[in-house]
Amino acid sequence: MTWLSREVFLAPRARGLHLVTREVLDALPELRELRTGLLHVFLQHTSAGLTLTENASSDVRRDLERWLDATAREDARWEHGLEGPDDMPAHVKSMLTGVALSLPVVDGAVALGTWQGICLCEFRDRGGPRRLVLTLQGD
């Protein structure tokens, strides 16, 4: 049984939904050695999120971003506003998308569907670098 944990730092990105599948997988060359297992991806932030979504059409990611913006509006009457108008809506969006993914590993690869990709959801105008903790287990 193999267990390993690794931190990955993602460069700052503009607000939006960004595919990070390659960055995550490149950080885990050991994954190729596993026959079966589980990869847990955890984002250590409360104003960004993680999700699995369409990896081919950027239109899907833009539509999802517009829906999230309409759902958690910056012009709502939030009490928390110390860090700017995009901060509290970012916390709400983070709760909606979540900050963790558990992905099956089969025959040395993450078993994503044909059109699935790991997506960092950056909800701040200037969110800065983001940190992921990757935990891999398997045989």
Output the domain CATH number for residue 94.
2.60.120.460
What number is the average pLDDT over the span 46-50? Answer: 98
Full-model pTM:
0.95
Q: pLDDT tens digit string along 115-125?
A: 999 999 999 99
Contact 54, 115 (CB under 8 A): yes
Q: Exposed, middle or buried by CB within 10 Å (0-12, 13-18, 19+), for 29? A: exposed
Q: Exposed, middle or buried by CB within 10 Å (0-12, 13-18, 19+), for 31? A: buried
Q: Exposed, middle or buried by CB within 10 Å (0-12, 13-18, 19+), for 119? A: buried
What's the chain's Rg over C-alpha atoms?
16
pLDDT at 49: 98
What number is the average pLDDT over the span 80-93? Answer: 95
pLDDT at 85: 95
pLDDT at 10: 98
Q: Which domain holds residue 52?
A: 2-138
Give the model's confidence band at 84: pLDDT under 50 very low, under 70 low, under 90 confident, else very high: very high
Please state, in angstroms and rounded to a whole number, the distance separating the CA atoms of residues 86 and 6.
30
Please state, in angstroms and rounded to a whole number, the distance separating the CA atoms of residues 78 and 70.
15
What number is the average pLDDT over the span 49-58? Answer: 96
Domains in the chain, number: 1
